[in-house]
Amino acid sequence: MSTTLILASQSPRRKELLQQLGYDFVCVPADLDETVLAAEKPEQYVARLALAKAGVIAKQYADDVVVLGSDTSVVFGQHILGKPESLADCLTILKMLSGHTHQVVTAIAAVKGERLEVVVVSTEVDFKNLTEQEIKRYWQTGEPQDKAGAYGIQGIAGQFVKQIRGSYSAVVGLPLYETAQLLSAFGVASSMTQA
């Protein structure tokens, strides 16, 4: 009997990536306050949230269940860029990223009973120069509204990205290599690893 796996997220992107790795799992989203704490660094913030998401769900289940939590932040300088609440917000964020390099920091956390582990992955993303028109047209597509940093690399905004250094899947929301390593360490088998 393989260990039961729960993904503490309702993100369709994370779900797709975990399916791509060949895992059987159920999604149970964690509802948390995602406010950034004073003086909290981006790496600490995503690690804390990933662990909190996994932890809050793990408490509801038996100790043989592994819960995977994840959190992704888009970071420019030391600013954590959230989801845009309006077109004005989207313009501010994407003008900031335009023509510059930013980081996408993703944390994954696994919790099983008393055991917990967190891995943080950082990827550098280079954006092309964006015009105000391009940003407005992009907003009209509806894509940036629910995305940290006001863009989704796997969607229309992929054309804004000149280059990345690091994990592409981490920018989408779940670093594939690190996730497979972490789950393997917790004894979770995928269809790729089963005999």
Rounded-to-integer distance, Cα 24 and Cα 171, Å:
23
Whether the Cβ atoms of residue 66 and residue 28 lie closer than 8 Å to each other: no
Whether the Cβ atoms of residue 161 and residue 138 lie closer than 8 Å to each other: no
* Active-site residue identified among 24, 31, 64, 71: 71
| Phi, psi of 161, rounded to the nearest 5 degrees | -90, 115
Known active-site residue 31: no
Which residues have C-beta within 8 Å of that of residue 137, sequence separation ≥ 6? none
> If you count them, how many residues does the chain have?
195
Which residues have C-beta within 8 Å of that of residue 83, sequence separation ≥ 6? 145, 146, 147, 148, 150
Active-site residues, by number, are: 71
